[in-house]
Amino acid sequence: MSTFRAVVIDKNEAGQSVELRSFDEADLMDGDVTVRVTHSTLNYKDGLALTGKAPVVRRFPMIPGVDLVGSVETSSHPDFKPGDAVVLNGWGLGETHLGAYAEKVRVKGDWLIPLPEGLTPHQAMAIGTAGYTAMLCLMALERHGLRPDRGPAIVTGAAGGVGSVAVALLARAGWHVVASTGRPEEADYLRGLGAAEIIERGELTGSVRPLAKERWAAGVDTVGSTTLANVLSMTRYGGAVAACGLAGGMDLPSTVAPFILRGVSLLGVDSVMAPKALRMEAWDRIARELDPGKLAAMTSTVSLDEVTEAGRRIVEGKVRGRVVVEIG
């Protein structure tokens, strides 16, 4: 049986270990498509898995990595044949199913979509789950009937992966984007992506009032906890916030006041198990609507050998924008 390189997380009484080593193809999990992986990416969830800071990994040993792009090697699925370029986001990859930080994966063909036309593999992973989630947030706000003429849109965690893409997408769609960040040194970077205003993270981390001054009509929140509670308290009448992250915590110390006194809506956005039709719509739009130059400006690249260290840095809040992991 052939072997390939993979980052492998294991756990015993002494704790969690992470190493780059040879992995036997015979130990891959069940699936009807085998993919030769060329690129992956680094999301906050990947950082949590690599560092063990949160219980992301549900079985051991595990190959982390929730995103991939690659070429089909073998397939018994009717939609895919050898040589097809494919993308996978989520579906438990890197959590319950052996993931993308490897030169090869075996997965269910129903989890795959074709690589969107007009995107290179590197660009697709520069987008990754983070960018795809940002588009799902924009689509959720649009389905709610919100448009730029209703007022500004806030993006929290704006210098991170989801936040960076959300800023660029909202700005392109015509929104006056307010970018919240705890890294004031990234102000020029965020303005380059299209942010019209930059506010300090501290403005949204203080004590939460049931209702505060109305400041924005829409929001994309990647942080959760007190930040999301404050964003909701400052959302205009009839506005909505798309929530997709929990970097600040899973709690929500809010009241019902924004919902019953201002008609504010909280829109939950899940990217992991989103139906295929929604995935393809989001990927089609992002391929058309995300400026390639802005995508390049927010992207850095690491090798498979460097991904463990990059995972530590993203959890420590030291990574800006998007990180592509070159596999093959």
User: Which phi and psi (to 5°) does residue 26 adopt?
Assistant: -65, -20
Nearest alpha-carbon partner for 23 in 6, 11, 35 = 6
Q: Token pair of 301, please?
A: 């690249």
Question: How much is the pLDDT for 328?
Answer: 75
Residue 7 has pLDDT above 90, yes or no: yes
Please report, rounded to a whole number, the percentage of residues in the chain having pLDDT higher than 70: 100
CATH 3.90.180.10 residue spans of the chain: 3-115+298-326
Please report, rounded to a whole number, the percentage of residues in the chain having pLDDT higher than 90: 97
pLDDT-based confidence at residue 187 (cuts at 50, 70, 90): very high
CATH number of 3-115+298-326: 3.90.180.10
**pLDDT tens sequence across 284-316:** 999 999 999 999 999 999 999 999 999 999 999
pLDDT-based confidence at residue 324 (cuts at 50, 70, 90): very high
pLDDT-based confidence at residue 13 (cuts at 50, 70, 90): confident
Q: Measured between alpha carbons, how far is 64 from 169 in angstroms, rounded to an integer?
A: 28
Torsion-angle region of 263 (φ positive above 0: left; ψ -120 to 50: alpha; else: beta): left
Per DSSP, the residues of 187-250 read HHHHHHHT-SEEEEGGGGSSPPPSS----EEEEEESSBHHHHHHHHHTEEEEEEEEE---TTBS
Q: What is the pTM of this model?
A: 0.93
**pLDDT tens sequence across 227-280:** 999 999 999 999 999 999 998 999 999 999 999 999 999 999 999 999 999 999
Task: Match domain 129-268 to its CATH number in 3.40.50.720, 3.30.70.1400, 3.10.129.10, 1.25.40.80.
Answer: 3.40.50.720
Question: How much is the pLDDT for 41?
Answer: 97
What does the pLDDT average to over 34-52?
96
